[in-house]
């Protein structure tokens, strides 16, 4: 075992702190700090009391019986307001703006009114326009502000303040070192925090960008992509209340990642949000097996969308003469009439909805045929039995003289409008007619169809001619259980088929409705780690948001999926063409400079033309490397993890290794996450132990994976290199 650079002794990069978490200060600075903390504690107590009164009032109103069925919309609004206040117990107040004109505004998780309706708000909601300078003002552009104060709280207690002068004036009253770097030095807990108070200007510009089309945000490791995406959700729901009526979909790369971010949006009070992965978007469908990268790449290609469209179109019935039986009589519908009804019914509709439209037309056509045939029979009777009809007419006249009523059909054999409508209704309700339509235009199932298509070489060659013979063979040889790349294909087929009957929404919140319905149309979609989506997965996104109100964040240089995209233009061309907007996050807040310095050569080997993000902080801890033999791996990994845990008490340690090393490491490391580079994407720990980096680089798209693995730590990186 050889140590290539010294292991940290356990104290480097860890600053001395007082019991409340503040750094020790001089007497004068300590007095100023204590005064500022006491001032903000007084305001926090005031705001908390106001929040409690408002929450109690809303709860009392919700529990009363005064609200009737006609006021459900108001009840829903009150419940949302109550939930927002209830969730705002933690971090209620986190900021303050002191204006050049002497005004003082406190910024918080929710807005709170003063007791007097005509006065300034007691607390400004962080998403409100008045709060924007808290994120965007700088010393170069103070936007009318003299000072920005970050307020750190634990529960109902203020534990620290950090002041930033914005007008160039440095006074003795300014305290602290700025919230962002303080936040970066906090221990990681395995759950993403709500970083409202540390959003920076380039992040805030993206959060508040117009939601008029696809926004693709490129950001390297530690640039705050996920925080930006989630706070954009909260901002859009605040700025566009109608968006909440449709809900917002948040797509993440894995269930582990969704659990990691699970506290962010609820902590901001947003309940109109559905979180999912691409694999879980279809209700009742679950991925049952892994698949090769080759098959994942083949089935992720955009060619499947037109292939499936043509396949379903081929299953539509062809126009022909139809012979229907109604009440013992046969009626022939000419092929030309059927063709016209088919063309009218299809018109871009999904398969089953087109069938429903055709069935409705057929009911009318059959009713007309019945009426016409009856009229023709009556005409024949009139020509052959005029004398009989004359006697019938005289009898009807006699009935009329006696005061008897008759219908139109009693008089001339023709059906009245009401009788024709009744006939149509009876035809529409007829089980015999329904069975005829089912036989001619059958109900189809997306799962059965996809299985049949994938198992049939002839069909694959016909509808996906771009596939080679070898690729068709690979697809055809797949087992029946669903793999991840099948989900977008199933979704496309389900969309092309349409629902047989639309499901009835259930549940109180709009998110409950959306979660249950495959074809729900969302007000906005946010995608994290978007570089991993295949072209067919992008199609899934577009189906759920045809308005294209989409925010996608990711790092194209961290792509590890089987597709071959190396730029955002390649990734989204199939679905958006050139109609999308690019944005970039350039500053790395998470990963220390000592670690980011290792990434540029890795990026070059990954084929990237991008520069790594600029790190703004240093942990003071040099990355270290320990060279070991494979036989020493288990013991060396366990010892290194113990040392890292001792150096970062209260924080987190993560282990990243090649796929073929995971099982061996899990046997000896039970109290830390042991993940592949792909599984670690989007996660962060105080310290990372990277095992066998060359083994990771040797995996498919391995240099991209190594770039991911190197950049997961916020403080310390250690590597075990195998000889």
- What tokens does 457 get? 């070489």
Which of 259, 263, 254, 265 is CA-nearest to residue 681?
254
Q: Is 673 annotated as a binding residue?
A: no
DSSP state of 329: E
Q: Is 17 annotated as a binding residue?
A: no
CA torsion 362→366→367→372, rounded to 10°?
140
Distance CA 399, CA 603 (A): 99
Distance CA 127, CA 237 (A): 10
SS (H, E, C) 143-184: CCEEEEEEEEEECCEEEEEEEEECCCCCCCCCCCCCHHHHHH
**Dihedral of CA 39/41/47/50: which sign?**
negative
Distance CA 143, CA 149 (A): 15
Alpha-helix residue ranges (DSSP H) falling in 11-63: 27-63
Instruction: List 95's β-bridge partners, or say none.
Output: 107, 150
Q: Is 225 annotated as a binding residue?
A: yes
Output Rg (C-alpha) for the chain, integer angstroms.
34
DSSP state of 660: G
Q: Is 176 annotated as a binding residue?
A: no
C-beta separation of 708 from 677 below 8 A: yes
DSSP state of 555: -
- What tokens does 262 get? 């699970």
Q: Is 220 annotated as a binding residue?
A: yes
Q: Is 635 annotated as a binding residue?
A: no
Strand ranges (DSSP E) for 555-702?
Answer: 581-585, 587-588, 614-615, 624-628, 653-656, 674-675, 685-691
Distance CA 672, CA 646 (A): 13
Q: Is 21 annotated as a binding residue?
A: no
For strand 215-219 and strand 581-585, is the pairing parallel, antiparallel, or unpaired?
Answer: parallel
Q: Is 219 annotated as a binding residue?
A: yes
- What tokens does 567 get? 């730029």
Give the annotated binding-site residues.
Answer: 219-226
Give the annotated binding-site residues for ATP.
Answer: 219-226
């Amino acid at each position: 075992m050889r140590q290539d650079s010294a292991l940290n002794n356990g104290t480097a990069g860890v600053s001395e702190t007082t019991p409340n978490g503040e750094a020790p200060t001089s007497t004068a600075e300590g007095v100023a700090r204590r005064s500022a903390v006491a001032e903000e504690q007084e305001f926090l107590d005031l705001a908390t009391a106001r929040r409690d009164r408002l929450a109690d009032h809303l709860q009392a109103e919700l529990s009363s019986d005064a609200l009737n069925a006609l006021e459900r919309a108001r009840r829903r609004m009150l419940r949302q307001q109550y939930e927002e206040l209830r969730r705002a117990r933690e971090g209620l107040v986190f900021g303050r703006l002191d204006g050049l004109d002497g005004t003082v505004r406190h910024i918080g998780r929710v807005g709170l009114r003063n007791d007097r309706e005509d006065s300034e708000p007691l607390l400004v909601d962080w998403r409100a326009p008045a709060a924007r300078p808290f994120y965007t003002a700088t010393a170069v552009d103070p936007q009318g502000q003299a000072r920005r104060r970050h307020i750190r709280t634990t529960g109902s207690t203020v534990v620290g303040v950090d002041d930033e002068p914005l007008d160039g004036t440095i006074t003795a009253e300014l305290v602290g070192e700025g919230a962002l770097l303080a936040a970066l030095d906090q221990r990681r807990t395995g759950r993403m925090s709500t970083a409202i108070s540390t959003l920076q200007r380039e992040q805030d510009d993206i959060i508040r960008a117009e939601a008029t089309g696809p926004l693709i945000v490129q950001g390297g490791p530690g640039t705050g992509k996920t925080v930006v995406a989630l706070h954009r959700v909260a901002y859009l729901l605040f700025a566009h209340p109608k968006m909440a009526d449709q809900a917002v979909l948040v797509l993440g790369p894995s269930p582990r990642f969704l659990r990691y971010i699970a506290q962010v949006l609820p902590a901001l009070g947003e309940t109109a949000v559905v979180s999912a992965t691409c694999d879980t978007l279809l209700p009742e469908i679950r991925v049952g097996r892994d698949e090769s990268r080759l098959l994942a790449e083949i089935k992720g290609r955009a060619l499947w969308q037109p292939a499936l469209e043509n396949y379903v179109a081929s299953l539509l019935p062809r126009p022909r003469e139809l012979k229907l039986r109604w009440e013992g009589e046969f009626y022939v519908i000419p092929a030309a009439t059927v063709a016209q009804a088919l063309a009218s019914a299809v018109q871009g509709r999904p398969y089953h909805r087109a069938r429903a439209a055709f069935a409705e037309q057929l009911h009318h056509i059959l009713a007309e045929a019945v009426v016409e045939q009856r009229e023709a029979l009556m005409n024949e009777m009139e020509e052959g039995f005029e004398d009989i009809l004359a006697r019938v007419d005289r009898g009807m006249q006699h009935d009329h003289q006696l005061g008897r009523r008759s219908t139109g059909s009693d008089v001339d054999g023709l059906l009245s409008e009401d009788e024709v409508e009744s006939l149509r209704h009876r035809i529409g309700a007829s089980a015999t007619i329904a069975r005829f339509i089912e036989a001619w235009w059958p109900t189809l199932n997306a799962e059965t169809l996809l299985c049949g298509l994938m198992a049939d070489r002839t069909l694959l060659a016909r509808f996906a001619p771009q596939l080679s013979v070898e690729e068709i063979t690979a697809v055809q040889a797949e087992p029946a259980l669903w793999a991840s790349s099948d989900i977008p294909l199933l979704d496309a087929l389900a969309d092309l088929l349409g629902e047989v009957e639309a499901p009835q929404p259930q549940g109180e919140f709009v998110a409950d409705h959306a979660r249950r319905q495959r074809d729900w149309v969302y007000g906005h979609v946010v995608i994290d780690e978007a570089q991993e989506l295949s072209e067919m997965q992008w199609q899934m996104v577009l189906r759920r948001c045809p308005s294209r109100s989409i925010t996608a964040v990711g790092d194209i240089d961290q792509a590890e999926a089987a597709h071959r995209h190396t730029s955002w233009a390649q990734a989204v061309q199939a679905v958006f063409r050139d109609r999308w907007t690019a944005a970039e996050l350039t500053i790395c807040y998470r990963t220390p400079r000592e670690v980011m310095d290792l990434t540029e050569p890795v990026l070059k080997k990954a084929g990237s033309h991008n520069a790594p993000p600029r790190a703004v902080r240093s942990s003071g801890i040099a990355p270290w490397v320990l060279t070991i033999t494979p036989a020493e791996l288990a013991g060396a990994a366990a010892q290194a993890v113990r040392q890292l845990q001792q150096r970062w008490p209260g924080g987190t340690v993560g282990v990243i290794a090649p796929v073929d090393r995971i099982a061996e490491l899990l046997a000896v490391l039970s109290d830390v996450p042991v993940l592949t580079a792909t599984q670690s994407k989007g996660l962060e720990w105080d310290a990372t132990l990277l095992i066998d980096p060359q083994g990771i680089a040797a995996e498919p798209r391995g240099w991209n994976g190594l770039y991911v693995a190197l950049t997961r730590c916020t403080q310390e990186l250690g590597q075990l290199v195998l000889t």
